[in-house]
Amino acid sequence: TPGPLGAHNWHPMAFNPELNLAYIPAQEIPQAYARDPRFESDAIAWNTGADFSAGVPPIAPPEVAKFLRSSLKGRLIAWDPIAGEPRWTVEHDNAWNGGVLSTAGGLVFQGKLNGEFAAYDAATGDKLWSHDLKSGGASGPGTFMIDGEQYVTITTGWGSAFGLSAGFAYDETVPSTVGKVVTFKLGGEGEIADPDFPMIDKTPKADSFGDETMIAEGAVHYARNCTVCHGPLAVSSGVLPDLRWSAITGNETAWKGVVIDGNLAVNGMVSFADYLTPEQSESIRAYVLAQAHAAATAEAGEN
């Protein structure tokens, strides 16, 4: 069913008064809905009463993430408000793409989640130009003129509600880079530096532990408390640490020190002692390690 992020979110739309077309960055982000039978209202929570782990097995193989990835769609729609129908559409292979800029020169600019920044013919939707931003392009571009020369600019980076948390949406882990302002002009010769991809040891840091009940319990607590930042299925986009490969998962004391005692609060990872017992925290560690072993097994099979 349609997810809570909607068919169109905060990404800016645009309008061309000459063509009488509104340009809409649209998306399809489905979500399974189920009632959480253990829901209790909390003063510091979303209080939706929904089970965010619904429809996903406690130990989900990478094929589940690939299936979820295939369900994400995006498109740029040139909407005729008089006719009440699209004049043209451009299909994208992912959701949460950028806002739109329409110029008097008959161009429509849009960035994409994968970093492509493109210019389309405002009347037909034909792609006329594109450039790799080497970072996410989900923001809204703008244009300005200095001394008779026009510039088009866009801020880049990975993040926002979807781009931060939905690790399964990315074909590859994104580099944790500082956001940039990238500006283009006709005849521009500047270059965008390649990002530094961190070397990540993608191996489980401990043996799996816990029975099916414990791991299933951990999956529920992870979905309630961790998924928004660290990603569904414990798959991170790369902006925040992927817990499957974190050394902290290999030690019960170290894990408790972070999750319960708040040892990394200075980095933004606050204590969850008000929301989780040490036993519940440990069940999350069991779940994360189970996901790590599932991913490592699948990787070994492919190689």
Please say if the pLDDT value at position 71 is more than 70.
Answer: yes
Please say if the pLDDT value at position 303 is more than 70.
Answer: no
CA 36 – CA 57 distance, rounded (Å)? 15
CA 176 – CA 54 distance, rounded (Å)? 30
Average pLDDT score over residue span 192-219: 90
Nearest-10 crossing angle of helices 278-302, 62-70? 80
Please say if the pLDDT value at position 171 is more than 80.
Answer: no
Residue ranges of the chain assigned to CATH 2.40.128.630: 14-30+71-184
Which residue is listed with tokens 């006719």? 83
CA 158 – CA 236 distance, rounded (Å)? 12
Instruction: Measure CA 153 to chain center.
Output: 22
Please say if the pLDDT value at position 282 is more than 80.
Answer: yes
First to last CA, the chain: 35
Query: 144-170 pLDDT, tens per residue?
Result: 999 999 999 999 988 777 877 777 777
Please say if the pLDDT value at position 36 is more than 90.
Answer: no
Residue 20 is given by DSSP the state T
Average pLDDT score over residue span 177-190: 91
Q: What is the mean pLDDT of the chain?
A: 90
Query: 127-150 pLDDT, tens per residue?
Result: 999 999 999 898 999 999 999 999
> With bands split at pLDDT 50, 70 and 90, how would you rate the model's confidence at 299?
confident
**CATH fold label, 212-302:** Cytochrome Bc1 Complex; Chain D, domain 2 (1.10.760)
Choice between 236 and 119, residue whose per-residue pLDDT is larger: 119
Cα separation values, 189 from 110, 186, 197, Å: 21, 9, 25
Greatest CA separation for the chain: 69
Instruction: Measure CA 156 to chain center.
Output: 14
> With bands split at pLDDT 50, 70 and 90, how would you rate the model's confidence at 212?
very high
Which residue is listed with tokens 């996903």? 56
Question: 24, 166, 44: which is closest to 92 by C-alpha?
Answer: 24
The SS3 of residue 66 is helix
Please say if the pLDDT value at position 120 is more than 90.
Answer: yes
Lowest mean pLDDT: which of 65-69, 87-91, 223-227, 286-290?
Answer: 65-69
Q: For the structural domain made of 14-30+71-184, what CATH number should be given? A: 2.40.128.630
Q: Which residues of 169-202 are buried (b: 16+ CB within 10 A; e: fewer)?
A: bbeebbeebeeeebebeeeeeeeeeeeeeeeeee
CA 2 – CA 150 distance, rounded (Å)? 40
Average pLDDT score over residue span 92-99: 93
Please say if the pLDDT value at position 283 is more than 70.
Answer: yes
CA 115 – CA 36 distance, rounded (Å)? 37
Residue ranges of the chain assigned to CATH 1.10.760.10: 212-302
Average pLDDT score over residue span 217-221: 92
> With bands split at pLDDT 50, 70 and 90, how would you rate the model's confidence at 53?
confident
Residue 302: the pLDDT is: 66
CA 248 – CA 13 distance, rounded (Å)? 43
Please say if the pLDDT value at position 194 is more than 70.
Answer: yes
Q: What is the pTM of this model?
A: 0.87
Question: 130, 266, 277: which is closest to 218 by C-alpha?
Answer: 277
Residue 197: the pLDDT is: 75
